[in-house]
Chain A
Amino acid sequence: MSESVALVLPAKIGSGLLSIASQIGGVAMLLGQILARLNPRKIDRHELFRNLHRMGVRSVPIISATAAFTGGIMVIQAAPFVEQFQATGFIGWAATFTTFREIGPLLIGLIFNGRVGANNTAELGTMAVTDQIDALRALAIDPVAYLVVPRVLAMVSMMVCLCVIGDAVALGGAMLTADLLLDVSPQLFWSSAMERLEIWDFWVGLIKAFLFGLMIALMSCYYGLATRGGAPGVGRAVNASVVAAAAGIFIADYCSTFILD
């Protein structure tokens, strides 16, 4: 019994590691294919604008709603300590700093992953299992150039834009909550933020948003195109894509926070 466990366990670990290595390799190869096709004259503009609209513009309401509440929650959480130490003058800076650098891109990234990334994997996965990807290839149309490149460009650029919008709305929510809860006027909130905040704090958030957008785009396209096995396969691909992209976001966040600080 113990002998079989001793054999099975390393085999399972080995096969798991091989599977992870194969997926990382697949994502890296897809990135290479995308970079090789980034010729502005050959990008399908119709597909690009269609994806910019459905992935970006249609995400604004949910991103805004979440960001507004998040800004408010940050102030609610900080309120007892701020009041205890009589540091209400710092609340504007604290909320802005954490929103720009961390909470904004991270939260928007996770919502974007759930809404746009999952949808993208499901769509490409359905196309894969119904032979539509093969149909494109049979029509001499490169699926990476036609389907993947416009989606990746749309997801990355919209993630950055949504981060800017989300940051602004979150600050609005924080400002309103600070006014109602701590009696910190919007003017005091704003001057507190502007006194201590650096432009680099804003850029750090945008760099993170770019990285998170790229992570979501690559994972969702890779798992979508690699889907096999009918409708259950699409479900598995969506699950794998969302989990892998979320893990990728946190790893990218950790590394970028370490490097950019």
Chain B
Amino acid sequence: MSPAAVIARPALGRDLRDVLAELLKLQHIIGGLVVAPDGLVIAADLPREIQAEPLAALVATVGRELERRGPRLRRGAFPTAQFASVSGAAAFIGSTPVGFIVLLGGPRADYDTIRAALREAVGAVYRAWAG
């Protein structure tokens, strides 16, 4: 990719750390991270008791599984997914060409609001990194 192409990219969504920082402002989000598809951590802001690297390895595995099996668990890309536990706390994953964005929400988190915000962020990253 030429430097000109890099400069021409839309600024919004280019820096994944900024994208994560914005999403972490959502209500009842307790942490988040951005993981490259090979499982390496790009950015993380997690509660102290959660280890980023092992979680990233699992996030990348979930993300790749979703990418490979896709909608209706069959094929194609997925924009976002949400996995909720017995307690109501949930992990939200967004898939982008650069990596997977993950948000951890507490039991009082508004699932629809978070998924909508994540979808928007995923779209911004796609536009910023297209080509």
Q: Do A and B come from one complex?
A: no
